[in-house]
């Protein structure tokens, strides 16, 4: 198990303490999206949150980021209470919100601009990230010239450029076709094994979760509760070959059975 | 020109080929658009010729429909008067439009930031828009006098609605995820507004400007109909009362040219101000009710 001491201050730890989110609609139609989730994410861990649509996993992620307030319970990042947008993280959404009027490079450098850091200093890093995902040549291109998969890769680079200790991703590959998705899984793993960051990855793909994660948090349908936390003890680094590993299939099947017993599959 | 670049194993040479292909396309499209423009001008010119011929052939009386040659002659024969009135109306339109821009942008930004304000102002705006400018003009003359101020005010209120509506729509186009992203980077509301919302809204705002300025021309001219002693609207009225039909047509032509010129001036400003990808987004026009 990786602890804070092993990685120094590089990767963040996240702790959720009985976190709930209630949407008040008056009377009986109050909507409990997330129901008392307690969770610990260790530094430099890749943790997936896996569950069916509407189970509150995206809401959970937003609460971790401090972008949604919790209705009850508390979120801690590096043992600091989160009560507002936490500003030392990278976030990637399902929709790749790139700015159409900026080049790919300028899009990646957006966090640097916002934080008032030196663009010149981070330019190298931005280009390096783009190269790692195979988009080095497109640094001067505009988003409209790129395909969906390419745009999402730019969004991932943007989330990494300011070297945050925590990376949150909300079904980033959900809008992409299956082949692109598999490629981006590998790209993402390559990006993250070469850095010490804590990753919290929301998905509804069992394969994806097992392939990429150290641990998987399985959520029930709404109201979202944590039903199980699964340790993925597949060898690292994970590659295409991992998918052929019989243990991979065993884990996938185990999770599938769990969902089946919840009535999801 | 907009083709998707191929992803995956793009070799260096493949990428080098793309720019030259694009360059050739540019030259082709330029020649093509030159040809199309020439064709369009040719069609307009042909229509003028047909008009001229029809007038002569069927001996259409000048008091019904003067031929283009007579209209052109009327414009050329009395340049001083036309120019003076043109400048008067143009000044009224420009000042009125500029006031309209400032007020409308401020209103639009307020509406988007405070939802209570939106619910308060929008119905009032729509109701106000429903008032025909011809009905509003005499009231404005009573308030602002016989001089150019009342026409400026009319120009301003005519331009207001399309600019406000388009500004509001434009500002609402920003994806919520982008706002969340900015917040998670610690961006201030001002940073979010300037870096993201304003530029996202820009094509829509300029669309509002384009509709607004043409309506401002209408508004100013209507004001001159009601009460004025100068301007193209006044000149039109006088010509009408004196049965100088050809002169009326010449004023209409000059007015149209003014409107066209102002419209393309807005486009020019848009081209200068906005980066290329934003301009290609195209505009959705919200037309205000015309008088």
Chain A nearest-CA distance from B159, in A, is: 28
> What pLDDT, on the 0 to 100 scale, is given for residue A239?
87
Q: Do B185 and A87 lie within an 8 Å CB cutoff?
A: yes
- Is the pLDDT at B288 greater than 90, yes or no? no
Q: Which of B184, B186, B196 is closest, CB to CB, to A67?
A: B184
Contact assignment for B185 to A146 by CB distance below 8 Å: no
Tokens of B153: 């005010």
Strands A72-77 and A14-23: antiparallel
User: What pLDDT score does B10 carry?
Assistant: 42
Nearest CA in chain B to A146: B4
Q: When comparing pLDDT for A145 and B13, which is higher?
A: A145
3-state secondary structure of A115: coil
User: Which class is B68-279 in CATH?
Assistant: mainly alpha
Residue A232 has pLDDT above 70, yes or no: yes
Which chain B residues are closer than 8 Å to A99 by Cβ? 178, 196, 199
Query: Please, which pLDDT band fits residue A27 given cuts at 50, 70 and 90?
Result: confident
Q: Which residues lie closer than 8 Å to A260 by C-beta, 6 or more apart?
A: none
The model's pLDDT over A244-257, given as tens digits with 9 standing for 90+, comes to 999 999 999 999 99
Select from A97, A115, A146 the Cβ nearest to the Cβ of B186. Answer: A115
CATH for A1-88+172-265 is 3.40.50.300
DSSP assignment letter at B261: H
Q: What is the pLDDT of residue B25?
A: 58
- Chain B: residue whose CA lies nearest to A82: B184
Token pair listed for B290: 């015309």
- Count how many pairs of residues, chain A against chain B, have C-beta atoms within 8 Å: 74
Best interface-test mutation with B: which of A12, A87, A101 has the largest number of B CBs within 10 A?
A101
Neighbours of A24 (CB within 10 A): 9
pLDDT class of A191 with cuts at 50, 70, 90: confident
Q: Is the peptide bond before B179 cis (omega within 30 degrees of 0)?
A: no
Mean pLDDT, rounded, for A191-217 = 90
pLDDT (mean) for A149-161: 94
Residue among B205, B209, B207, B222 at smallest CA distance from B290? B222
Distance from CA of A65 to the nearest CA of B (A): 7
Determine whether the interchain pair B8/A93 forms a contact, defined as Cβ–Cβ distance below 8 Å. Answer: no
Residue A260, SS3?
A: helix
Placement of tokens 């966090």 in the chain: A111
Whether the pLDDT of residue B27 is over 80: the answer is: no
Interface of A with B (CB under 8 A): 62, 65-67, 85-87, 89, 91, 93, 95, 97, 99-102, 110-111, 113-115, 134, 137-138, 141-147, 149-150, 162
- Residue B23's pLDDT band (boundaries 50, 70, 90)? low
| Cβ <8 Å between A91 and B184 | yes
Each residue's pLDDT tens digit, A30-55: 889 999 999 999 999 999 999 998 88
Task: Supply the pLDDT for residue B180.
Answer: 96
Across-strand partners of A80?
Answer: A77
Best residue in B1, B10, B185, B282 to probe A by mutation, most A CBs within 10 Å? B185
Q: Are B57 and B206 in contact (CB under 8 A)?
A: no
Rg (CA), chain B: 24
> SS3 of B170, please?
helix
Exposure string (b/e) for B147-182, b if CB count within 10 Å is 16 or more?
A: ebbbbbbbbbbbbbbbbbbbbbbbbeebeebbbbbb
Render pLDDT for B100-157 as a digit per residue (tens, 0 to 9). Answer: 999 999 999 999 989 899 999 989 999 999 999 889 999 999 999 989 999 999 999 9
What is the average pLDDT score of chain A?
Answer: 90
Per-residue pLDDT band for A28 (boundaries 50, 70, 90) equals: confident
Closest CB to A67 among B5, B10, B183: B183
Strand order in the sheet with A46-50: A89-92, A166-170, A198-203, A46-50, A215-219, A226-231
B4–A114 CB contact, under 8 Å: no
The two structure tokens encoding residue B89: 């109306």
Query: What is the share, in percent, of chain B residues with pLDDT greater than 90?
Result: 63
Indicate the pLDDT class of residue B238, thresholds 50, 70 and 90: very high
Is residue B17's pLDDT more than 80?
no
Structure tokens at A165: 């200790």
Domain with CATH 3.40.50.300 in chain A: 1-88+172-265
Q: Of A36-45, A152-161, B28-37, B233-242, which gets the smallest average pLDDT?
A: B28-37
Asked if omega into A237 is within 30° of 0 (cis), the reply is: yes
Residue linked to tokens 């295409």: A240
Contact indicator for A64, A16 with CB cutoff of 8 Å: yes
Q: What is the pTM of this model?
A: 0.81
């Amino acid at each position: 198990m990786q602890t804070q001491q092993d990685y120094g201050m590089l990767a963040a730890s996240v702790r959720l303490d009985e976190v709930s989110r209630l949407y008040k609609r008056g009377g009986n139609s109050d909507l409990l999206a997330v129901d008392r989730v307690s969770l610990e994410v260790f530094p430099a861990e890749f943790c997936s949150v896996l569950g069916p649509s509407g189970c509150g996993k995206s809401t959970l992620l937003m609460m971790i980021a401090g972008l949604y307030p919790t209705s009850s319970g508390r979120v801690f990042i590096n043992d600091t209470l989160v009560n507002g947008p936490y500003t030392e993280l990278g976030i990637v959404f399902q929709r790749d919100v790139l700015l159409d009027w900026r080049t790919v490079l300028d899009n990646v450098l957006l966090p640097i601009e916002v934080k008032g850091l030196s663009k010149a200093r981070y330019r190298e890093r931005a280009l390096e990230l783009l190269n790692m995902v195979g988009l080095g040549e497109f640094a001067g291109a505009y988003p409209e010239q790129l395909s969906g998969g390419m745009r999402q890769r730019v969004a991932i680079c943007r989330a990494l450029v300011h070297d945050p200790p925590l990376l949150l991703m909300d079904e980033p590959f959900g809008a992409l076709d299956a082949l692109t998705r598999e490629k981006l899984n590998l790209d993402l793993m390559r990006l993250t094994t070469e850095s010490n960051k804590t990753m919290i990855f929301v998905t509804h793909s069992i394969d994806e979760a097992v392939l990429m994660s150290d641990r998987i948090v399985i959520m029930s349908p709404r109201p979202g509760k944590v039903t199980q936390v699964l340790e993925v003890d597949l060898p690292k680094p994970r590659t295409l070959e991992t998918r052929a590993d019989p243990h991979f299939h065993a884990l996938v099947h185990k999770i599938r059975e769990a969902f089946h017993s919840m009535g999801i599959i | 020109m907009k083709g998707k670049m191929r992803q995956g194993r793009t070799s260096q040479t493949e990428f080098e080929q793309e720019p030259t292909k694009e360059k050739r396309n540019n030259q082709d499209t330029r020649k093509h658009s030159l040809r199309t423009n020439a064709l369009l001008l040719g069609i307009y010119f042909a229509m003028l010729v047909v008009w001229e011929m029809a007038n002569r052939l069927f001996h259409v009386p000048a008091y019904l429909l003067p031929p283009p040659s007579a209209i052109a002659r009327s414009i050329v024969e009395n340049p001083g008067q036309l120019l003076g009135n043109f400048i008067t109306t143009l000044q009224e339109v420009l000042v009125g439009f500029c006031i309209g821009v400032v007020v409308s942008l401020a209103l639009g930004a307020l509406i988007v930031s405070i939802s209570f304000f939106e619910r308060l102002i929008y119905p009032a705006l729509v109701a106000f828009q429903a008032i025909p400018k011809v009905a509003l003009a005499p009231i404005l003359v009573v308030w602002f006098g016989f001089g150019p101020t009342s026409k400026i005010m009319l120009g301003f209120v005519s331009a207001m609605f399309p600019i406000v509506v388009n500004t509001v729509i434009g500002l609402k186009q920003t994806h919520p995820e982008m706002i969340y992203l900015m917040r998670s980077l610690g961006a201030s509301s001002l940073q979010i507004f300037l870096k993201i919302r304003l530029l996202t809204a820009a094509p829509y705002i300029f669309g509002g400007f384009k509709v607004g300025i043409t309506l401002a021309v209408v508004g100013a001219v209507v004001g001159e109909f009601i009460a004025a002693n100068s301007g193209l609207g006044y000149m039109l009225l006088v010509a009408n009362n004196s049965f100088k039909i050809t002169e009326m047509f010449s004023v209409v032509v000059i007015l149209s040219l003014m409107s066209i010129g102002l419209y393309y001036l807005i486009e020019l400003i848009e081209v200068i101000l906005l980066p290329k990808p934003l301009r290609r987004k195209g505009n959705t026009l919200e037309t205000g009710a015309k008088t």
